[in-house]
Structures are given as C-alpha cells and as structure tokens.
Structure 1
Amino acid sequence: MPLTTKKAGDCRGTEADGARSSKWCSLCYVNGKFVDPDCTVDEMIKIVDTALRRDGARFPFRWMARRQIPTLERWR
C-alpha cells in the first residue's frame, strides 16, 4: 500500500520512538511492531483491499496493491 496519497494523507506506520516508518503502512505497523505478527500474506491482502474499497479506491489501484503485498520484505 502506498505510504502517502493525496486523499488519505500520510499512511505510514510508526516506529517505537513515534517516528514515521519508511517501510510500513499504518494498517500493519504501529509503535515499532506489526499489528498482527501472525497475519498471512492472504489475510493482509484482504485487509488492504477492504481499506482501499472503504476509501473509494478504483480497481486498478486495488489490483496493484494485491500484486505488491506479496513482494514486501515481511513475506520474503
């Protein structure tokens, strides 16, 4: 998921010191930890897709997110 968008603003997660993460979004990373460390890639795809739909994202954007999520360092 992009870390910043015009519509959503800053979507970056936070590090333990309160600084914004340069790697992770606020859906999965807060206070220096993954919100759900046992979350699978398929579960994260559903979480992100639901959030994007709620925010009115069109299909191409959701499709791109579905393709990007499995390539993130978290699931390598």
Structure 2
Amino acid sequence: MEQHMEHNGPFCQSCGMPMPEQDLLGTDREGVKTEDYCKYCYENGEFKQPDITLQGMIDLCAGYLVQQGFAEADARGMLAQTLPLLKRWRQAGTAS
C-alpha cells in the first residue's frame, strides 16, 4: 500500500527521510546541496556510512521512527517495503 506524505519536497534516497527544508540536504564534493540525500547520510559527495547494509539502514531508521511514536514492527515493515526502492539500494542490486 502506498502512503502519501503531507509535505512537499524531496526524500533522502538512502534513508527515506523527508527533506522539506534546505538545511536537511546533503552536499556534493563541491559543497553544493543535493536533493538526492540528506545531510545525515551524505556529505561532501560521500556517504557518511559507506559500508552500511540495507538491513543496517532499516535497523537504524526503525529506532528513529519508534522515537517518533511508531510501533517497532510497523516501522520495520514500512522501511523493509520502502527503502529497497530508493536510489542507493536499487544500485546495490537485489538481495538473494
């Protein structure tokens, strides 16, 4: 089931976080803001956690969603369905 968010603006293509404000955007190698990734995932053209796996990102993000009031099982289920569709994880190939 597709969920609709109530904001405009890009979503981080690594963690899925909404980025409605410019100060949440990551930066490329020249320090220019990019709408592909948030500042928590991407800075100066590099991922801050280059070796994190998709499962690791789900684990990390689930903790933040639980803090925001989501049930852990719901958070993990939503992340497991949405994160594999994002640019960072699509490029990594499919899990077997």
* TM-score (normalised: structure 1): 0.66
**2:27 aligned to 7, 11, 14, which one?**
14
TM-align CA RMSD: 2.5
More strand by share: 1
CA 1:48–1:4: 2 relative to 1, 3 Å: same
What fraction of aligned residue pairs are identical, expressed as a percent? 31
CA 1:33–1:48: 2 relative to 1, 3 Å: same
SS at match of 1:38: coil
Contact residue 3 and residue 24 of structure 1 kept, 8 A: no
What 5-or-longer segments of structure 2 have no aligned partner? 1-15, 91-96
Cα offset for 1:66?
4.1
Aligned partners of 2:18, 2:49: CA distance in 1, in Å?
19
Contact residue 13 and residue 30 of structure 1 kept, 8 A: yes
Equivalent residue number for residue 86 of structure 2: 72
What 5-or-longer segments of structure 1 have no aligned partner? none
* TM-score (normalised: structure 2): 0.55
Structure with larger Rg: 2
What pairs up with 1:1-76 in 2 under 5 angstroms? 1-5=16-20, 9=21, 10-54=23-67, 56=68, 58=70, 62=75, 64-76=78-90
Cα offset for 1:24?
1.1
Aligned length: 71
